[in-house]
């Protein structure tokens, strides 16, 4: 298209495309399914659709790219970010990676329904990759069509932005668009496929490099390309490490792995803080930048159950259950360590960093729990308090978000009024009949021990409450809220998407008039598909 016809912001987008310029390409183009060798990506064009239509966009992400409201609401924006128009400086491609899926090596995977448009240099000099999810088949789509449906796209768009505002490391979402076409999906893989509206999400991140990129190169025995890919990753995403260590040295590889462990520990600690369950923590869904990536069958822990998984595919083994996420992260890091071993040729320092992950994660978890409880700092004696809390939260069906948020309403003076101790927490319980005298007695005992500990801290009540309210959100993207937005959207009403996007921009603030978005899961959503569990289908 003639760039002069574009709105100003879109015409000023500056693409650098270092990934495709410096790394080897698959010599074949097009979406023909194939195994590739000695290459990191394949060039592929998005598939044009019938009627691109903007549903929503993130104003913050747009602004970071130098795009105005007029840019985002233009017809050209919908055309570009649904895949119908490719700007002259873009270099669309899909990357190749492998991975372990549910603990088993799956071989070549790759961007099966994601097409990278290119790397934009933002007005402040940052590098951001723009990636379309659902824009058509790629060489890595295997037997799938490379498309996405509105249902899963609403969930990805909203959750990407919700996680960012919660302070969780994540990829972002620029836009959600409709294609004007219908896509066939068997949502529960139960032999009942149906047509659903097609959609595309434009995802944004400094890079989408995954553990699986390194795994694939190592599995193919392409060690020199593995070395080159790691050096590229260091130059683009970890330049500070090259300033500290010699390029190509064993030391820089180990320093990089240590930082990936550090970032992964921080990310998972944040997941546990807000009650997020990824649902499909395969190694190909793990970012080396420690970003939450690939919002598929995720869910939010409503009833506090450490064994809960949102993924129907994982219902039997529960590999990716809430409480197991730190252990899975470490296992995934082990697979990354195995992949880069040829660049180190010494297992001992890699094993040391893997053990270090446990230490880093535990330190972050302890700090996080101290913040959730409003304590000045975690003390060794707090271990018993936290262990008992884990049991107390499972005595009755307890809403995690409401419990911790409302806990800030208690103060040590209430020890003089024991009958009132539980009053602020009652909205967090789903089934009041479960609060038997015995259960209440155990909860009371923990609350008394907790308030005694708070009193020992000698912290001003307003400071403690602010600390707690900064760690415990009032609003999260509850599973049923996402489903309400989907239900409305599938009827052509996108108002709930827009309202949720606004509410979730301030998840820690009490927002008058938005109390309904902070309520616990209604009973109708207890077992409804989309509100309780999901499949990998999109």
pLDDT tens for each residue of 219-260: 999 999 999 999 999 999 999 999 999 999 999 999 999 999
- How far apart, in whole angstroms, are the C-alpha atoms of residue 441 and residue 406? 19
List alpha helices for 110-210, DSSP H: 150-166
Q: What pLDDT, on the 0 to 100 scale, is given for residue 1?
A: 39
- How far apart, in whole angstroms, are the C-alpha atoms of residue 177 and residue 201? 7
Residues 6+ apart with CB under 8 A from 366: 378, 382
Does pLDDT of 188 surpass 80?
no
Radius of gyration of the CA atoms of the chain, in A: 24
Average pLDDT, the chain: 96
- Taking only the tens place, the pLDDT of each residue in 202-230 is 999 999 999 999 999 999 999 999 999 99
Does pLDDT of 402 surpass 80?
yes
Please state, for a pLDDT cut of 70, what percent of the chain lies above it.
99
Does pLDDT of 504 surpass 70?
yes
For the chain, which residues make up each domain, given as ranges? 3-211, 223-372, 382-458, 479-525
What is the average pLDDT across 439-468? 96
Q: What pLDDT, on the 0 to 100 scale, is given for residue 529?
A: 84
Q: What pLDDT, on the 0 to 100 scale, is given for residue 229?
A: 98
Does pLDDT of 2 surpass 70?
no
Please state, for a pLDDT cut of 90, what percent of the chain lies above it.
95
Nearest Cα residue to 176 out of 494, 482, 537: 494
Does pLDDT of 132 surpass 90?
yes
Tell me the C-alpha to C-alpha distance, in Å, between residue 142 and each of 102, 199, 329: 18, 20, 26
Q: What pLDDT, on the 0 to 100 scale, is given for residue 537?
A: 55
- How far apart, in whole angstroms, are the C-alpha atoms of residue 136 and residue 146? 4
pTM: 0.96
pLDDT band at 54 (very low <50, low <70, confident <90, very high): very high
**Angle at Cα 431 formed by Cα 425 and Cα 436, nearest 5°?**
80
Quickly tell me which residue has 């005694």 as its tokens. 452
Among the options 26, 71, 111, 284, which is catalytic? Answer: 284
Q: Catalytic: 284?
A: yes
pLDDT band at 186 (very low <50, low <70, confident <90, very high): confident
The torsion region of residue 335 among left (phi > 0), alpha (psi -120 to 50) and beta comes to: alpha
Q: What pLDDT, on the 0 to 100 scale, is given for residue 212?
A: 98
């Amino acid at each position: 298209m003639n760039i002069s016809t574009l709105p100003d912001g879109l015409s000023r987008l500056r693409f650098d495309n270092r990934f495709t310029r410096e790394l080897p390409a698959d010599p074949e183009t097009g979406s023909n399914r194939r195994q590739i060798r000695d290459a990191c990506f394949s060039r592929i064009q998005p598939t044009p659709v019938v009627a691109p239509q903007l549903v929503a966009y993130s104003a913050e992400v747009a602004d970071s790219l130098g795009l105005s409201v007029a840019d985002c609401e233009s017809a050209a924006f919908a055309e570009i970010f649904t895949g119908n128009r490719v700007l002259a400086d873009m270099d669309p491609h899909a990357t190749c990676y492998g991975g372990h899926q549910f603990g088993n090596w799956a071989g070549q995977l790759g961007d099966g329904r994601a097409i990278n448009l290119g790397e934009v240099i933002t007005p402040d000099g940052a590098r951001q990759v723009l990636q379309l999810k659902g824009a058509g088949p790629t060489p890595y789509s295997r037997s799938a069509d490379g498309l996405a449906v509105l249902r899963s796209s609403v969930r990805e768009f909203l959750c990407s932005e919700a996680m960012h505002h919660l302070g969780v490391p994540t990829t972002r979402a620029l836009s959600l668009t409709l294609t004007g076409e219908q896509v066939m999906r068997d949502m529960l893989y139960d032999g009942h496929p149906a047509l659903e509206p097609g959609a595309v999400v434009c995802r944004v991140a400094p890079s989408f490099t995954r553990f699986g990129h390194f795994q694939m190169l190592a599995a193919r025995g392409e060690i020199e390309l593995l070395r080159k890919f790691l050096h590229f990753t260091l130059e683009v995403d970890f330049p500070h490490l090259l300033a500290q260590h010699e390029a190509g040295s064993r030391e820089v590889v180990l320093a990089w792995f240590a930082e990936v462990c550090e970032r992964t520990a921080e990310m998972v600690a944040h997941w546990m803080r807000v009650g997020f369950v990824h649902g499909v923590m395969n190694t190909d869904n793990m970012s080396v930048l420690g970003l939450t990536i690939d919002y598929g069958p995720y869910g939010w822990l409503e009833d506090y159950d450490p064994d809960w998984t949102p993924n129907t595919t994982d219902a039997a083994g529960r590999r990716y259950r809430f409480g197991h996420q730190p252990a899975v992260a470490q296992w995934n890091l082990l697979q990354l360590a195995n992949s880069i071993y040829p660049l180190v040729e010494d297992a001992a320092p890699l094993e040391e960093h893997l053990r270090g992950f446990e230490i880093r994660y535990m330190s972050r978890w302890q700090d996080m729990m101290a913040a959730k409880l409003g304590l000045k700092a975690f003390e060794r004696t707090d271990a018993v308090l936290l262990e008992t809390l884990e049991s107390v939260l499972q005595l009755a069906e307890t809403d995690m978000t409401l419990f911790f948020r409302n806990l800030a309403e208690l103060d040590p003076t209430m020890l003089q009024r024991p009958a009132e101790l539980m009053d602020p927490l009652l909205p967090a319980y789903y089934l009041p009949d479960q609060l038997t005298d015995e259960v209440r007695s155990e909860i009371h005992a923990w609350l008394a021990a907790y308030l005694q500990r708070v009193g020992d801290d000698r912290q001003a009540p307003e400071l403690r409450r602010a600390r707690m309210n900064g760690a415990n959100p009032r609003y999260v993207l509850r599973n049923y809220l996402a489903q309400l937005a989907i239900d409305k959207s599938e009827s052509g009403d996108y108002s709930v998407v827009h309202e949720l996007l606004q509410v979730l921009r301030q998840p820690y603030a009490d927002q008058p008039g938005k109390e309904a978005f902070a309520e616990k899961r209604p009973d109708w959503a207890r077992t409804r598909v989309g509100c309780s569990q999901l499949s990998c289908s999109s």
